[in-house]
Amino acid sequence: MALKKTLTIAGSDTSGGAGIQADLKTFQEHGTYGMTAITVIATMDPDNNWNHGVYTLPIDVLKEQLKTALSVGVDALKTGMLSTEDVIRTAGEGIRESGTSHVVIDPVMVCKGEDEVLNPGVVDAMIEHLLPVAEVITPNLLEAGFLSGLGPVKTIDDMKKSAEKLHELGAKYVVIKGGKRLQHEKAADLYFDGDKFLLLETEKVDTTYNHGAGCTFAAAITANLANGLGVEEAVLEAKKFVAAAIVHGWQLNEFVGPVLHGAKNEFGVPDVTVKEI
């Protein structure tokens, strides 16, 4: 059987809920064949409040991985945590040279709970190397604010302005994840295709067990694109997938609760409403 092939260029989350671990689990749940190019290894310190260590792999090791995976050929790929300008440039060049058209850029700049941007130079590098190859970009509010240069994004109106800017910068489709910081009564994400805005809403879930939600959402979009869905449908289905995963988030230890990547297939999906705004 020929499976659709998906690739994640991202960091390893040793705790298993986010990063390439989230991506592979999500690819698998969508029946695609997942491959990886690992950029960094993230560790968490149980003796220091689960503080993250981020260890960037040598750039040649990333290049070898990209050569391996892209020589196979992929139906869709995503990026996640790219920790340095060098890593971003290498990923961007690899993607461009591969000619892959289904490219989902998840511009990870901070891990949940930590508000330091990985490294300030990454913003400009993402604009230069990743936005132009992005079929879909999936920033959270913070990342959308940095990339669009518009500063803090807090409202649906701010999200719309930021989405327009990211589209101008080259991303064909923009999906801004509302998350907890959004001033809105529902959990809402904004979709912009350069023409129309859609608001995707679910009921807010009162949980802190949502580690890996962003990676899982972007990975589900990637797998849906690989499976031949159009972008709008790929995003809507991915929103259902991640909403279910958040509803069934669970406690891994005293520090972290990951989403349940397989929740949609096991338990079904919560309601997602879509309206043009």
- Site residues (vs ligand PXL, CB under 6 A): 10-13, 18-19, 42, 80-81, 108, 111-112, 212, 214-215
Tokens standing for 226?
Answer: 């690989």
Minimal distance, residue 212 CB to ligand PXL, in Å = 6
- 55: amino acid identity, one letter: Y
User: Nearest approach, Cβ of 53 to ligand PXL (angstroms)?
Assistant: 10
Q: Which is nearer to ligand PXL, 112 or 261 (CB)?
A: 112
Fill in the amino acid letter for 211. Answer: H
Nearer to ligand PXL, 80 or 249 (CB): 80
CB of 276 to ligand PXL, least distance (A): 30
Cβ-based nearer residue to ligand PXL, 199 or 212: 212
Q: Please state the closest distance from residue 238 (CB atom) to ligand PXL, in A.
A: 16
Query: How far apart are CB 216 and ligand PXL at their closest, in Å?
Result: 9
Of residues 139 and 212, the one with the C-beta less far from ligand PXL: 212
Please say whether the beta carbons of 189 and 204 come within 8 A: no
- Are 187 and 202 in contact by the 8 Å Cβ rule? The answer is yes
Taking the least distance from each CB to ligand PXL, the nearer of 167 and 239 is 239
Q: Based on CB atoms, which residue is closest to ligand PXL, 100 or 216?
A: 216
Closest approach of ligand PXL to the CB of residue 161, in Å: 25
Report, in Å, the least distance between residue 20 CB and ligand PXL.
7
Q: Rounded to an integer, what distance in angstroms lies between the CA atom of residue 270 and that of residue 139?
A: 23
Task: Say how far apart CA 62 and CA 197 lie, in whole Å.
Answer: 36
**Token couple for 17:** 């809920």
**Taking the alpha carbons of 151, 157, 159, 164 in that order, is the dihedral positive or negative?**
negative
Q: For ligand PXL, which is the closer residue by CB, 162 or 216?
A: 216
